[in-house]
Each structure stands twice: as structure tokens, then as C-alpha cells.
Amino acid sequence: MHEFNNNEHPHRRYNPLLDEWILVSPHRAKRPWQGQNEKAADDNRPEHDTECYLCAGNVRANGIQNDNYTDCYVFENDFSALLKDDVFYESDQNKLFQLKPERGINKVICFSPKHNLTLPEMETSEIEKVVQTWAEQYIELGNHDFINYVQIFENKGSVMGCSNPHPHGQIWAQSSLPTQIERTQKNLRFYYEKNKTSLLKDYLEQELELQERIVLENEHFAVVVPFWATWPYETMIISKRHFGNIIAMTSEETKAFADAIKRITTKYDNLFETSFPYSSGIHQTPTDRIAHPEWHFHMHFYPPLLRSATVKKFMVGYEMLGEAQRDLSPEQAAKILRELSEIHYKTKN
């Protein structure tokens, strides 16, 4: 019988945030690839694109002209998935056909007027302005009595379904807790009530002690490849101090959060020397006017690229029907990311 090696032998890992398991098959990273290759991202974009609906001063598809903005620019999504309208619906109480109307507000946040930038190519001070804008929107949207959760996120790259390469993110604020948030909250609350402490604070303290999966850190935040990571180079930014949402940050923590975002996204771009695609988003306390001491501020990055700039991971077959699976172990992924430069490859001479 062989001795177990987590970088060689298949095993399952538990995700305490979602109360689910993932299959890790590190030996499969050696298999040859003859599958689909994605088109590499085109980085040759102008600073201002007259055809771009998000560039400053341009007219969007609905005929509204953008402001001539100089840093962040926020507007309500012209093609919102949610609407503010309150509608009457009488439920028939059928447990097998449950339906409820959903109200909400969708916004777009342009990170910069420069069409040819992405977060890792922006200055830390510019990203800090993005963080401040997120905080302002969290307050503004959360103050609506029908908004109970504010989801801040970014889809970067066409492979992630991003319809416009201009640097931007979105906010979907809605009346219900989204399914992932509801599941996370349930598990955070269970841990907090049992242990009288934050699940992610306890988790991060152990990760910082082990240093196996830590990619980078500063005084206030750490970036870690989670023990239970699903995506090849998935990471989380976790606050070292226990607080629940973005408006609880001090000015120093805001700067440190911007620093962590710039550094991890720069490492991502440097991995395959391409504009690295991902979906990222902040998980934080609901805005339902209820105390949530169980919540601990964190941000997820879910990048799909696996072997190169053109080979991505697919969630298919067993993963759709059984449970999530990954090849590269989280420890291997963390080591690769940790050893990458924090100087963007485009600026190297």
C-alpha cells in the first residue's frame, strides 16, 4: 500500500462555506490535451474606442450619452436582469411549483475611462477609488427598503461571457438572498453560534500559520488558494480583521484591499502572459437590517484557465452530475502563483 500524497493521489476535500465536497485528482494534470483551445485575448485596444458603449462621452445602445468621466463611472444597467417595479402576485402555495417575483437594481461600474486598461494595469490609487465606489454603492443600494443583498462582481474576458472589454464590473442588488449567499450565511452562522468566532478568521489564521496555500499578504489582507478550491487558480482575498462588509473598512484597509487586488490580478496576467480571464466578486453581510456577526468580509476569484492562455477548465459531465473536480492541487496552484512576479509582464523591459 502506498503512502498518501495530496499532490499525487485522488481525494475529496470539504468546503465549509457551501457544505459540499470536491474531488481532487492531481495525477490527471499529466494527461495530454487535444480538446478545445480558446482564442487568446487581444490586448491591442485603443485608449478610447469610439464604438465602445462604455467609453467616456460615447452614446450607449439606448441613446443615453455617458459623462466625460475621469475615474469611476456608475449607471443603471441598460439591460437589467432585475427591475424595481413592485408587482402583485398571488401564490397558489403549490410546493412543487414555487414562484415569487423578484425586485432589484442592476448597475454598471466603469473602473477607468481608459478602454485599454484592466485592474492589474491600473495604479493602486485608481483601484482604491474603485473600492470606494463599491462602498458608496453598497450604502446607496442597501438603503432601499426592498434591497436585502448587494452583489458586487466583475466578469473579465470574453471567455467569461463579458460582452465589452472596457474595464468594468457590475452590481446586482435584489430583494432576496441569492442561493450561494444563503448557503454561505447558513454555514457561517452555524459555525459562529457553535464557536463564538468567525469561520473565516479561524481558517485564515491556520492558513497563515501553515503558509502552504498563501499566495501573498499585506498588513490587513491575505490572498489564499482555498483548501477546497474548485477552479485551477481560484483564490480568495480574506480580511485579517473580523468585519462583515466593505463600509466597515478603515482607510488603511481600503488601501490594503486595493493593493491585494492589484497584486493578485497582476500575478494572474503574468501566469500565461495574457489578460487573464476570471469572475470575481465580494461576499459580505446582507443589507436586510439584521445584525450578522457571523459574516467575514472576503472576495472570490474564479479563473477558468488551466494549462495555457488558450486551454480552460470545463465544468461538465461528472461535475454537473456528481460533484466538482479539479486536477492541479490547491497547494501546487498556490506555489505557482506565489513564485510569479508582481511586476506586470507588459511593463518589463
Catalytic positions are: 168
Amino acid (one-letter) located at 122: M
Q: Which of 151, 126, 31 is nearest to 72 (CA)?
A: 126
- Phi, psi dihedrals of residue 282, rounded to the nearest 5°: -95, 135
Alpha carbons 162 and 304: distance in angstroms, whole number: 13
Tell me 67's DSSP state: P
Which cell numbers hold the place of 96?
412543487
Alpha carbons 198 and 191: distance in angstroms, whole number: 7
Using CA atoms of 117, 41, 349, 345 in order, give the dihedral in degrees to the nearest 10: 80
Amino acid (one-letter) located at 177: L
Decide if 328 contacts 306 (C-beta within 8 A).
yes
> Phi/psi class of residue 347: alpha, beta or left (left: φ > 0; alpha: ψ in -120 to 50)?
alpha
DSSP labels, 229-266: --STT-EEEEESS---SGGG--HHHHHHHHHHHHHHHH
Torsional sign, CA 18, 127, 266, 48: positive
Which cell numbers hold the place of 290?
439584521
Strands (E), 47-143: 73-76, 104-110
Which cell numbers hold the place of 292?
450578522
Degrees (nearest 5) of the Cα angle 261, 265, 271?
155
